[in-house]
Every structure is written in structure tokens, then in C-alpha cells.
């Protein structure tokens, strides 16, 4: 799916992107009109993006993104709220080792006053596997700079996914999870190790129909595990919805939370249960 010999990593103060000629396969936006860095592009087997960035119904949904709607009363989810905070990247270390590319970065979760509530160390590593799939591993450690109260809100994505409209059940796609659940009714609010959106799609170059899919996998070290997924038929999902489903939580200054996830982009032929086992073995 991704030819390592023909791809080039580009990094500047606005973005991290993996490209071949003028085609972008992976784009991580660092600065722009949003209030936080996020993954804007992951190309599927069709050559099209499997993510939706800032759709008209929820302009604050950004492909794969991170945030929480209530940290000490500050909103790190919505972007036009009067109490909206900023998530700002302060440093980045690049990994350019084909067939793996990525970075580790430091970020600050800043209140409107400028106070830093959370310091985050975030790493993303894209690995070109074979012609059927590739993976994007996300690993975040959140260190509380102050005593932090996480409010009870469904607006919690650490991380979250907004899948391309073409992959949603609303447009003929399908949701399924590790427990055999199919569709929003069987997946929303249900524990699962992984959750997948897939759909047939016309290839970008030519008229062949292929399957585009993206699977969110939660590492067993996450707490809780398996997570209770937020999953909607129209496209948003998150494996980190603990405060919505379990109530508010408090975290002392200096304490840390770690969350590890894998996003697997595939052509529909991949055994997702076996792929999850591989993830667990690789990322102990």
C-alpha cells in the first residue's frame, strides 16, 4: 500500500507529512486554524483519505485528534467556546527510518489565562507493513502540572477518530468491534479491544472498487481495558470515553496518565483479531 522507497518525510513548524510527488499519504497538522495538533490525512487502499477533517456538522472534529471538554473548567474540545484552551506543540524529535516514519513531541495544554494544566509527551509512528495495510501507533503520557479535575463529558477524545463519510454506515459502510458487535447499537457504549469502520470505495486512480478500512486498537496497558467505546454511525468514535461512562475524576499535580493506541488502515482482507494480537506482542 505504501512503497517505502518512494516516500519522503517533510517536517516544518506547521506540519509533518509523508508524501510521494504531490500526493500526501499522511499529514499531521501542527498549526492552523484549529486549537490543537491533529492527524488530517491517512490514505487508504483507494488512494482517498479515510479521515474527515472539520466536517460541516462538527467543525471541531479533526481526523484523529486529542482533547477533553472539561479540565478544571477549561474546554480543550470545542474551539469557539469562551473557555476554550489551546494544545501547543513545544518541541519535536523526528523519526525517519523507512519503512517507519514519525516523531515524538512535547505539548502543553494551556488555559485561556496561559496557565499550563497538562504537559503531554506524544509520539506517532507510521509503519508501512505490506500491500494490505499499514499502522499508526500513538502513545501519549499526560502529566498534570496542577491538580486537575476531569469533568463528566462525552466530549473526550484522547484520542478520537472522525472517519471519512464514505466509510460510515450512514453512507453504506459498516462498524464492527472485537466482540462481534455490528453497528452503532451494538458498539456504542460497549467494551471492546478494537473497533473498525470499513466500506467499499471507488479507487482514486481508475474505476476499480476496493475496501477502505480503519481500525482503532486499544493497548491492554490502558486503564480501563477493554475500553468502553464511543461509536456513532455518522463517523465519530473514541476509545477513551472514561469520564462520560464512569463519571468525573481527579488527578494530583505531578501524576501521569498514559494512553497507547494503534490505528490500522487496511484493504478489508486483514484478519483484525490476528492484527490485534500482533499489536499486543509488538508493543509490550
User: Nearest Cα to 136, choosing from 209, 28, 46, 274?
Assistant: 28
Residue 90 CA to chain centroid, in angstroms? 20
| pTM across the whole model | 0.96
Give the closest residue to 110 by CA, choosing from 71, 160, 66, 149: 71
CA separation for the pair 76, 21 (Å, rounded): 35
Local confidence pLDDT in tens for the 284 residues of the chain = 788 888 999 999 899 999 988 899 999 999 887 999 999 999 999 999 999 999 999 999 999 999 999 999 999 999 988 889 999 999 999 999 999 999 999 999 999 999 999 999 999 999 999 999 999 999 999 999 999 999 988 888 999 999 999 999 999 999 999 999 999 999 999 999 999 999 999 998 877 899 999 999 999 999 889 999 999 999 999 998 666 666 788 999 999 999 999 999 999 999 999 999 999 999 88
What are the structural domains, with CATH classification, of the chain? 4-282 (2.70.98)
Dist CA 267 CA 284 (whole Å): 26
Amino acid at each position: 500500500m505504501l512503497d517505502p522507497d518512494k516516500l519522503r518525510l517533510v517536517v516544518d513548524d506547521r506540519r509533518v507529512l509523508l508524501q510521494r510527488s504531490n500526493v500526501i499519504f499522511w499529514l499531521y497538522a501542527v498549526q492552523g486554524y484549529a486549537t490543537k495538533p491533529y492527524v488530517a490525512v491517512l490514505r487508504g487502499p483507494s488512494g482517498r483519505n479515510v479521515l474527515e477533517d472539520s466536517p460541516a456538522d462538527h467543525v471541531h472534529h479533526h481526523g484523529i485528534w486529542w482533547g477533553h471538554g472539561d479540565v478544571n473548567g477549561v474546554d480543550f474540545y470545542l474551539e469557539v467556546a469562551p473557555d476554550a484552551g489551546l494544545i501547543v506543540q513545544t518541541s519535536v524529535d523526528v523519526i525517519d527510518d523507512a519503512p517507519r516514519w514519525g516523531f515524538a513531541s512535547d505539548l502543553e495544554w494551556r488555559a485561556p489565562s496561559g496557565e499550563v494544566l497538562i504537559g503531554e509527551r506524544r509520539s506517532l509512528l507510521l509503519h508501512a507493513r505490506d500491500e494490505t495495510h499499514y499502522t499508526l501507533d500513538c502513545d501519549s503520557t499526560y502529566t498534570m502540572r496542577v491538580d486537575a479535575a476531569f469533568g463528566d463529558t462525552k466530549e473526550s477524545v484522547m484520542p478520537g477518530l472522525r472517519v471519512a463519510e464514505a466509510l460510515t454506515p450512514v453512507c453504506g459502510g459498516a462498524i464492527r468491534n472485537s466482540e462481534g458487535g455490528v453497528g452503532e447499537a451494538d458498539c456504542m457504549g460497549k467494551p471492546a479491544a478494537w473497533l473498525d469502520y470499513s466500506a467499499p470505495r471507488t479507487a482514486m486512480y481508475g474505476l476499480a472498487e476496493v475496501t477502505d478500512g480503519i481500525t482503532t486498537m486499544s493497548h491492554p496497558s490502558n486503564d480501563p481495558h477493554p475500553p468502553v467505546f464511543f461509536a456513532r454511525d455518522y463517523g465519530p468514535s473514541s476509545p477513551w470515553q472514561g469520564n462520560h461512562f464512569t463519571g468525573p475524576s481527579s488527578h494530583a499535580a505531578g501524576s501521569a496518565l498514559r494512553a497507547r493506541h494503534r490505528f490500522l488502515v487496511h484493504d478489508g482482507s486483514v484478519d483484525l483479531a490476528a492484527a490485534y494480537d500482533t499489536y499486543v506482542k509488538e508493543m509490550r
